[in-house]
Amino acid sequence: MQSNPNIVVYFAHLAIEQSVINRRLRDVVCDLPNVDFRDLYERYPDFYIDTAAEQSALRRADLIVFQHPIYWYGAPAIFKHFQDTVLLRGFAYGPGGTALHGKDFLLVASTGAPVEEYGPDGVHRYAFEDLIRPIEQTARFCGMNFLAPLVLHGGHTLPADVIESHALEYRRRLEAYRPAGFR
């Protein structure tokens, strides 16, 4: 049985020094021995992503995590750029594009609004699950297994103990993770 699955966490936050939630989430998992923690803004402040290096990291991973706050109903811009420059035809999809097939994908996200604001009666009108469909579909299109997201809503008003509990749940999920073939 595989005891230490490879996990790559792709992280992006536009103002990490001002973050409470994502900074804590980052800090609670970045020291795990089987986690390759990759801060996209830190690595690529100029947005010149090293495609070969990132494809290599993805090939090694059993679990791929995208961790970020939700901005304007999606991921930070560098994630879109990452998808455009790394998840290429022949690598992630299309003829010969099977490098990510069978890998697990986990979205770890935070929102500023409470969960009740997502839905027909809320300011955001749609359920949160509907708003992240492009992220889910990207994972599925690349042949990955989209795992149930780990989302913390209401970030602007949460007490420290709720944030800490969520952070510890994130760490627990990564520590307990086993690839599908080994569960």
**Model confidence over 93-128: pLDDT tens digits?**
999 999 999 999 999 998 888 888 888 888 889 888
Looking at this protein, which amino acid is placed at residue 25? L
Tokens for 94, please give them.
């299309």
Q: Which two tokens stand for residue 143?
A: 């042949």
Look up the CATH number of domain 7-182: 3.40.50.360
Domain locations in the chain as residue ranges: 7-182
Contacts of 15 (CB under 8 A, 6+ apart): none
Q: Is the pLDDT at 182 greater than 70, yes or no?
A: no
Backbone angles phi, psi at 68, to 5 degrees: -170, 160
- Per the prediction, the chain carries an average pLDDT of 90
Q: Is 40 helix (H, G, I), strand (E, B) or coil?
A: helix
pLDDT tens string 22-81: 889 999 999 999 999 999 999 999 999 999 999 999 999 999 999 999 888 889 999 999
pLDDT top residue among 5 and 175 = 175
Q: Report pTM.
A: 0.93
